[in-house]
Amino acid sequence: MTSQPFIPSADPVRPIRALLRGLDALQMLNRRDGITVTEMAQRIRLPRTTAYRILETLRAGGWALRDGADDRYRPSMLVRSLSEGIHDEGWVATVAKPELEALGHDILWPMGLYVLAEGKLILRVATDWSSPVALVRYAPGERAGLEAMPVGAAMLFSRAAAERDALVAALVPTTSQRSAVLREVEIARRRGFALREDPVEGESAIAIPISDPGSETIHGVLQMRWIKTAVTPERVIDQFLPRLAKVADRIGSAAAQASARSEAIRTVA
């Protein structure tokens, strides 16, 4: 019997809303070191009874554990299997990840490397789970829009004006958000880094671009978060920013070399 090629249906597929809700809950569960039913309901904006059913479903499937001491749900080791099969670009896996892990052992504050792909800022490397001082833990694969500060501002401020404006126009959804982004970008351009001093969930952040030495190519953004009440921005800028910049330079050089090798291979092919 001759097999027939698969032809996708022209009709739009109706999303399975329950599955999407479950994935939202799993993502939120993975961000935090324990979450209650009430907290989950508030975070994913669902009734408490629905949040409870989702969490219990995740627990029944082995994806979550419930601590009887405080009634908090936590992700199980099975969640890690979801990242298997994801392959980073060579420079992310071989250079960026070891660099951030080594720096994280010294600085302790959580750090992350973001790239711009598919119109979103995507977290590729994170030290959150090895940081003892992270209030919120983010995992690789998290996505955010360019309006996310300060990562978005750091991704944009050293780009040529035409490219920057085109990205903002295409990827930032509203006029007010575009204006806010461009203001933050201009402040970051003058400083040489992007800074968010007003804490989100108790954490402030600083971010710098990972650039291609000698060109305007931006490979990603390196961000560090800290508890605002524990460290002043002045100390972060004086003590931590130079070390972040050195790591960003090394990662940028590795990314540039990897891009050059890829281009050479394409040219030969």
The rounded percent of the chain whose pLDDT value lies above 70 is: 87
State the span(s) of the chain assigned CATH 3.30.450.40: 86-268
Structure confidence at residue 186 (pLDDT) = 96
Structure confidence at residue 197 (pLDDT) = 87
Structure confidence at residue 240 (pLDDT) = 96
pLDDT tens for the chain, residues 1 to 269: 444 444 444 556 788 888 888 888 888 888 777 889 999 999 889 999 999 999 999 888 888 888 888 889 988 867 765 654 454 567 888 899 999 999 999 999 999 999 998 788 999 999 999 999 999 899 898 889 999 889 999 999 988 888 898 999 989 989 999 999 999 999 999 999 999 988 778 899 999 999 877 777 889 999 999 999 999 999 999 999 999 999 999 999 888 887 676 555 545 44
Please tell me the pTM assigned to this model. 0.71
Fold of 86-268: Beta-Lactamase (3.30.450)
Q: Which helix (H) or strand (E) holds 122?
A: strand 120-126
Q: Per residue in 113-133, pLDDT tens?
A: 999 987 889 999 999 999 999
Cβ count near 167 (within 10 Å): 18
Fold of 17-82: Arc Repressor Mutant, subunit A (1.10.10)
Encoded tokens for 119: 């119109």
State the span(s) of the chain assigned CATH 1.10.10.10: 17-82
Structure confidence at residue 15 (pLDDT) = 80
- 230-244 b/e with 16+ CB inside 10 Å = b? eeeeeebeeebbeeb
Q: Give the distance, in angstroms, between the CA of residue 155 and the centroid of all CA atoms in the same chain.
A: 13
Do the beta carbons of residue 122 and residue 141 sit within 8 Å?
yes
CB within 8 A of 2, min separation 6: which ones? none
What is the amino acid identity at position 220? G
Q: Per residue in 78-102, pLDDT tens?
A: 776 565 445 456 788 889 999 999 9
